Amino acid sequence: MIRLYDYELSGNCYKLRLLMHWLGLPFERVPVDFHPGRAHKSDAFVQNVNPLGQLPVLDDDGFVLRDAQAGLVYLASRYDTPGGHWYPDDAQARGRIQLWLSTADDLTRSISAVRLHHSFGLPADIARCEQQGHTALRLLDDTLAEHHYRGQSWLAGREPSIADIACFPYAALAGEARLDLRCYPALQAWIHAMRHRPGFIAMPGIIDPAL
Ligand SMILES: N[C@@H](CCC(=O)N[C@@H](CS)C(=O)NCC(=O)O)C(=O)O
């Protein structure tokens, strides 16, 4: 059984919940009191689960893996159907996906940091993070607009991949970081398309259009 060390409000944990849902994988959630408990920084967590004191962490029958992007690569490689679209077996597609997995980390360092500051009062260099957040959102918007002209709706191809899942949460949660998405129309259309994919699941701050 797969276990996910999880926090309901974490966009990084949500990435793995979303992929496991779309893959139809059963999993057990191990709730971690990120706020206010800071349980991810406890001695027990740092010594036994993740030395970096971060969420999410996957445990697949004793194979323990920290980092949301690493988790997406692992789960899609291990559990997607042969020929599946989440992490295609194609060198160029994987190169493009890796590019967006790196951008996803930029979104965590920028938009997630501002959101945690506004929500929980955690310290952050707001001006710098806002500027970096907008840089990443602009890059996503420009890319998606260009892809749209070529009849391609997703970040790394004609089908959604783990690149889309990795970048989705903190782009969709930008409003909670008080970043205005109105100047990113292609990005907004992509968020809409993600939310309307069959089998989509929500998280607080990202609404399920079916509900
Ligand atoms: N690169 C990591 C970053 C994970 C991360 O920053 N997680 C947040 C929760 S969403 C966290 O644990 N923050 C506490 C910290 O960085 O000390 C990943 O993608 O999983």
List, for residues 24-70, the tens digit of each pLDDT value: 999 999 999 999 999 999 999 999 999 999 999 999 999 999 999 99
Q: Are 109 and 170 in contact (CB under 8 A)?
A: no
- Strand-by-strand arrangement of the 57-60 sheet: 27-31, 2-6, 57-60, 63-66
Question: 179 is in which domain, residue-wise?
Answer: 91-195
Distance between CA 2 and CA 30 in Å, rounded? 10
Residue 99 shares a structural domain with residue 156:
yes
Instruction: Output the ligand 1 site: residues, CB below 6 A.
Output: 10, 12, 40, 53-56, 67-69, 105, 108, 112
**Residue 202 lies inside a defined structural domain of this protein:** no
Q: What ligand 1 atom has the least distance to the C-alpha of 71?
A: 20
pLDDT tens-digit readout, 113-134: 999 999 999 999 999 999 999 9
Q: Are 45 and 53 in contact (CB under 8 A)?
A: yes
Average pLDDT, the chain: 97
Instruction: Provide the pLDDT for residue 112.
Output: 98
Q: Tokens 């997703």 — which residue?
A: 154
Site to substitute for ligand 1 among 54, 74, 114, most atoms within 8 A of C-beta:
54
- Other beta carbons within 10 Å of 17: 18
**Which amino acid is located at 193 in the chain?**
A
Q: Tokens 């974490």 — which residue?
A: 10
**Residue 140 lies inside a defined structural domain of this protein:** yes
Residue 72 shares a structural domain with residue 114:
no
Site to substitute for ligand 1 among 7, 55, 98, 103, most atoms within 8 A of C-beta:
55
pLDDT at 110 over 80: yes
Residue 102, domain CATH: 1.20.1050.10
pLDDT tens-digit readout, 185-208: 999 999 999 999 999 999 999 988
Residue 179 shares a structural domain with residue 120:
yes
**Residue 85 lies inside a defined structural domain of this protein:** no
**Residue 102 lies inside a defined structural domain of this protein:** yes
Give the residue from 38, 56, 79 where a domain finishes: 79
Site to substitute for ligand 1 among 33, 41, 50, 108, most atoms within 8 A of C-beta:
108
Residue 97 shares a structural domain with residue 190:
yes
Distance between CA 190 and CA 86 in Å, rounded? 16
Instruction: Provide the pLDDT for residue 181.
Output: 97
Residue 57 shares a structural domain with residue 96:
no
Q: What ligand 1 atom has the least distance to the C-alpha of 67?
A: 20
Averaged pLDDT, 126-146: 98
Residue 95 shares a structural domain with residue 148:
yes
Distance between CA 198 and CA 196 in Å, rounded? 6
